[in-house]
Copies of this chain bind each other. A is one copy, B any other.
Amino acid sequence: MNSRSQPCCGVARFLTILDGPWATLIIRELLNGPLRFTELRKQLEGVSAHTLTHRLKRFEENGIVSRTAYAETPPRVVYELTEKGMELREVLNAMRVWGDSLESAEPEKTVSNSIESCPFSQK
């Protein structure tokens, strides 16, 4: 997309870090608490290991996710949002509010308002 240096616009900065498929959904999952690599894969049906690895690496480099590896066999690696990462909750909440508001317009079917409707706690 743009160039190498950090963009000056906050929106663009956000987009630089949370770019690409699955990025934001990974954050959504981690907002519910730390997860292992495999747990993330299971919850995000369809992510390839490759993409997941890349996203997590970028998140780590940007200080929004921490990675803790336990020297066990089989290995155990736990990913967790940092404070900076936790602050993304507000952004995801805004997305959720907007996304949920679309339902009313679609006549097809009112989406179930089950507890599962959005898989991260609002506060």
**Among the listed B11, B22, B46, B101, which residue makes an inter-chain contact with A92, where contact means beta carbons less than 8 Å apart?**
B11
Binary contact readout A89-100 vs B (1 if CB under 8 angstroms, 0 otherwise): 011111111111
Chain A interface residue bracket vs B: 35 or more
Known interface pairs A1-B46, A15-B25, A46-B2. Does A10 touch B95 (Cβ–Cβ under 8 Å)?
yes
Contacts of A99 in B (CB 8 A): 9-14
* In the assembled complex, A6 has its CB within 8 A of some CB on chain B: yes
Give 15 A-B pairs besides A8-B112, A11-B92, A11-B118 with Cβ atoms closer than 8 angstroms: A8-B111, A10-B95, A10-B98, A10-B99, A10-B101, A10-B117, A10-B118, A11-B99, A12-B25, A14-B95, A15-B95, A63-B105, A90-B98, A91-B94, A94-B94
